[in-house]
Amino acid sequence: MSPNVVIYTTLVDGYCKNGAIAKAKDLFYKVEELELVGNQHTYTVLINGLFKKGLKKEGFQIGHCKDKNPWEAEKLVKQMSNHGLSPNLVTYNSLIDGFCNIGRMSKGLGLFGQMKLDGDGKERYHPSKVTYTILMNTFVRSGNIEKALEMYNSMKKAKLEIDVYTIGAFINGWCGKGRMLDASKLFKSLKMMHLHPSDVIYNMMISSYYKEGSSYKALRFLKGMREHQGGSKYC
């Protein structure tokens, strides 16, 4: 791999992280003018930058900005193929996350299928924990807990590690629907899985119990959180 490509990729990444997407794109195309071929990482950092710029600065809800960056990112993937490069797992995760975050779930799911099998039905990549977590969080946010559970079961079937963030996403979903019995069962399952609830999860439970008028249960979780933090003397 040419060291020039590495240097250019580092600079593109730096511009993206600072929100200077226009400069990042100019530099990206400068690589081509110099007859250098970007690698998978070069493409992935720019794709990431396009989505993050759209979400944090331009907002995909304003005029043409709603469509511009995600499709530009997808165009880069096609360009990769023209250069004989295949999107890797990180690239696919970036695209799935980007489309899901702007409400284009069907596109995210299409990419999820595409990453697993190519056009000839041959296996490509096994979805990672990150892939499943992106999709689960999206389904939970949209209130589709059943589909989120399907993803969760697929994740378990693939023998991928279930962590506190995975369970926390479901607890958040059940709390949002007011199904505190289900949320409570999941909270208890953390102990069985030898996982420690985060302050965020405790706060979800406390807030939701207060909302439904169960102040006693809310206070019990508050006490549990303080004990977990080593601050039981305040109870």
Residue showing tokens 């080593």? 230
- Which range among 15-19, 36-40, 145-149 shows the weakest confidence by mean pLDDT? 36-40
Among 207, 226, 227, smallest CA distance to 217 is for 207
The yes-or-no verdict on residue 57 having pLDDT over 80 is no
The yes-or-no verdict on residue 158 having pLDDT over 80 is yes
Write down how long the chain is.
235
Average pLDDT, the chain: 79
pLDDT tens-digit map of 163-189? 998 899 889 989 988 999 999 999 999
3-state secondary structure of 231: coil
The yes-or-no verdict on residue 234 having pLDDT over 60 is no
Distance between first and last Cα of the chain: 60
CA dist 198 and 140 (Å) reads 18
Measured at the CA of 186, the angle between CA 183 and CA 189, to 5 degrees, comes to: 155
CA dist 36 and 156 (Å) reads 42
Q: Is 223 exposed, middle or buried (0-12, 13-18, 19+ CB in 10 A)?
A: middle
Average pLDDT over residues 56-82: 53
Q: Please give the pLDDT value at position 67.
A: 45
Render the burial of 53-62: b for 16+ CB within 10 Å, e for the rest: bbeeebebee
CA dist 32 and 93 (Å) reads 25
Beta bridge partners of 123: 117
CA dist 26 and 50 (Å) reads 13
Concatenated DSSP letters for 17-64?
HTT-HHHHHHHHHHHHHTT----HHHHHHHHHHHHHHIIIII-TTSTT
Better pLDDT: 182 or 101: 182
Percentage of the chain modeled with pLDDT above 70: 79
Residue showing tokens 């794709």? 47
